[in-house]
Amino acid sequence: MRILTIALIFIASLVNAQVVIDLQKLAAKQIKSTADVAISDNSLDFKNIVRPAGYWVKFTGSYTRPIVVKNLIGFSPAAKARIFYEGVEIKTNTSSQTLKFIDCSNWEIDGTNTTRIIGSGNSSGQLIDVSGKWANVDIHGFYLNQGRNSNSGESQGGAMLQLHGIENPNHNHGEIRLWDIEGLNANDEFAYVLLYYSANASRAKKLEIWHTRAKNLGRDAWQATNIDSVYIHDNTADNLALEGNMDHVSGFSLNNGNKHVRLERNRVTNAPQFIYSGTVGGILQTKDNVYIQGTSRVINNQAIYTKSITTMQYDSIIAPKVLIAAVAQDKAQVTYQGVTIVAPKTFRYSTPAPIELPAVKTYTGQITIKETTLSGKVLTQYFIGDQELVIK
């Protein structure tokens, strides 16, 4: 087995040291703390010292225990401290969180698309877990596999990737970005951002998720709560709700407190429900998404349930087995345009009624004019690429 090491690189003018920590020696208590990092077993405490721009911590090798990082503070949201894992594989046999970050701010967690984190099965805890008074984080470049037995029903573990809220309405977690993450065999959700149920919960300014791929999930794919602006685009999720619980069945579970949500170019298959949007008076915009109900063993009342002001454009909703309708409006206005729906009934509503807009597509590009002469008459055709334009 290769030995997991950490390389801490400090700006020479601020910290006159370059430290390499061998975690095998760390576990044997052969590595001492420094003025900048307090070390205790598998825990690293960065002491809330604001790190200079360009600061990074590098992990390499293999490991079988959780790693805890505390109080890492980057220079600014635009100049984050970087923790990155290069060629790392971590396999654990514990219900504890594998990569745990506590009270960190302005930092990046980078798996460099070479890192694998493998959980312990149905009792596996979160593979990446962020908690405390954290703010402004980027997470990307990981392969995550919690090891869930897909035939087991309800599991004891938590979400695969989880960022917790706290009991403090005055704390803001800033901006969160998740991308290039593959997640398989999750006990519960794939990604849960701001897990905290309270009227006094903290908030976040912005969440963006893109290029994530999730498959075989106990519950929902993406959950978000108490965020001002949510933009989730170009993701895929397949085979959801393996717990068989009707309360946890959506591709997107958008809980209370999300003010403005945009979902674009996502694909969710084999799931009993596509979207739940629970913010009364919030805004939900969907465009160019594909939802296919497929072979999910849980049959839900609808594909989309919304309490939010909703606009749908050019989505495809294939839900032939819903019990009531494709879209359930809970006293929320829904406006739709160019949407393809396959379901026993399109909408369920009391008031207001859904509004359909004309489907309009705009084409941009170089126009090719083709003129064909036949029997002295000229037929003129206009093309953008292979698409013929009909002039009316």
Whether the CB-CB separation of 379 and 372 falls below 8 Å is answered with: yes
Domain count for the chain, please give it: 2
Are residues 264 and 391 located together in one domain of the fold?
no
Are residues 368 and 357 located together in one domain of the fold?
no
User: Looking at the domain assignment, is residue 103 inside a domain?
Assistant: no
Task: Give residue 186's pLDDT.
Answer: 93
Task: Give residue 387's pLDDT.
Answer: 78
Are residues 273 and 380 located together in one domain of the fold?
no
CA–CA separation, 331 and 349 (whole Å): 7
Nearest Cα neighbor of 78 from 54, 59, 100, 101 is 54
Are residues 191 and 314 located together in one domain of the fold?
yes
Q: ∠ CA 192-66-91 to the nearest 5 degrees?
A: 90
Are residues 243 and 152 located together in one domain of the fold?
yes
- The residue assigned the tokens 């002491």 is 47
User: Looking at the domain assignment, is residue 39 inside a domain?
Assistant: no
User: Looking at the domain assignment, is residue 32 inside a domain?
Assistant: no
Domain that holds residue 371: 363-392
Q: What is the pLDDT along the chain (392 residues), one digit of tens a residue?
A: 445 554 444 333 334 234 456 666 666 777 788 889 998 888 999 999 999 999 998 888 788 888 999 999 999 999 999 999 888 899 988 888 999 999 999 999 999 999 999 998 888 899 999 999 999 999 999 999 999 886 666 777 789 999 999 999 999 999 999 999 999 999 999 999 997 778 899 999 999 999 999 999 999 999 999 999 999 999 999 999 888 776 668 999 999 999 999 999 999 999 999 999 999 999 999 999 999 999 887 788 999 999 999 999 999 999 999 999 999 999 999 999 999 999 999 999 988 999 999 987 676 778 888 888 777 788 888 888 877 877 65
Whether the CB-CB separation of 248 and 221 falls below 8 Å is answered with: no
User: Looking at the domain assignment, is residue 33 inside a domain?
Assistant: no
Are residues 304 and 368 located together in one domain of the fold?
no
Query: Which tokens in the block code for residue 374?
Result: 């036949």
Q: ∠ CA 131-278-178 to the nearest 5 degrees?
A: 40
Residue 228, domain CATH: 2.160.20
Say if pTM beats, i.e. exceeds, 0.85.
yes
Query: Which tokens in the block code for residue 30?
Result: 């052969």
Are residues 300 and 201 located together in one domain of the fold?
yes
User: Looking at the domain assignment, is residue 155 inside a domain?
Assistant: yes
Are residues 289 and 216 located together in one domain of the fold?
yes
Write the DSSP assignment of 201-242 as a string of letters.
--BEEEEEEEEEEEEEESS-SEEE-SEEEEEEES-EEES--T
Are residues 173 and 245 located together in one domain of the fold?
yes
Query: Which tokens in the block code for residue 4?
Result: 């997991």
Are residues 341 and 370 located together in one domain of the fold?
no
Are residues 381 and 286 located together in one domain of the fold?
no
Are residues 369 and 337 located together in one domain of the fold?
no
User: Looking at the domain assignment, is residue 356 inside a domain?
Assistant: yes
- The residue assigned the tokens 């090491």 is 5
User: Looking at the domain assignment, is residue 224 inside a domain?
Assistant: yes
User: Looking at the domain assignment, is residue 274 inside a domain?
Assistant: yes
